[in-house]
Amino acid sequence: MKTDGQHVICDLWLVESVSQKEVLRVLTSAISKGGLNVVGEAYKDFGGDAFTVAFILSESHFSAHYFPERNYIAIDCFTCGDEGNPISAVAYVVKELNAQETSIKVIKRGMK
């Protein structure tokens, strides 16, 4: 198993708040578009469309925290090896949710 990978961290501010259902739809589509494979999931609904979700991937993980009162989503996607494309997955979310502003960091991990 390879240890090298990419860790994508994204702060995303939306033009306007969207429903929890829509955000979850976009996140699951992004995972698929990025060629990532879900093997497990944890989800916490905080009410008022706020939620946290963590997808356990065969490549590592994809998590999101949605704060609808601030039109803000924090995304974290880490993959090990050559499978999947976390940058494409996060870029899909940014495009589909009509981001007003983003901050994206890509960190190379697991390499000496």
Catalytic residue among 7, 10, 77, 80: 80
What confidence score (pLDDT) does residue 112 get? 72
d(CA 97, CA 99): 6
Confidence (pLDDT) at 82: 83
pLDDT in tens, 14-62: 999 999 999 999 999 999 999 999 999 999 999 999 999 999 999 999 9
Rounded to whole angstroms, how far apart are CA atoms 97 and 14?
A: 7
> Which residue has tokens 């989800």?
43
The closest alpha carbon to 15, from 88, 108, 99, 87, belongs to 99
pLDDT at 1: 64
Is position 77 annotated as part of the catalytic site?
no
Provide the pLDDT for residue 27: 98
pLDDT attached to residue 15:
95
For the chain, the residue count is: 112
- Higher-pLDDT residue of 110, 93: 93
The residue behind tokens 């009162």 is 69
What average pLDDT does the chain have? 95
What is the domain class of 5-99 according to CATH? alpha beta
Q: Count Cβ atoms below 10 Å from residue 110 Cβ, excluding itself.
A: 13
Our answer to whether residue 65 is catalytic in this structure is: yes
Going from the C-alpha of 12 to that of each of 4, 9, 38, 52, 82, the distances in angstroms are 26, 10, 22, 15, 26
Using DSSP's 3-state secondary structure scheme, residue 93 falls into: helix
> Residue 69 has what pLDDT?
96
Among the listed residues 17, 60, 63, 103, the single catalytic one is 60
Domain locations along the chain: 5-99
What is the model's pTM?
A: 0.92
- Long-range residue pairs from 38-46, CB within 8 A, at least 24 positions apart, any chain: 45/20
- By percentage, how much of the chain surpasses pLDDT 70? 99
* Confidence (pLDDT) at 18: 95
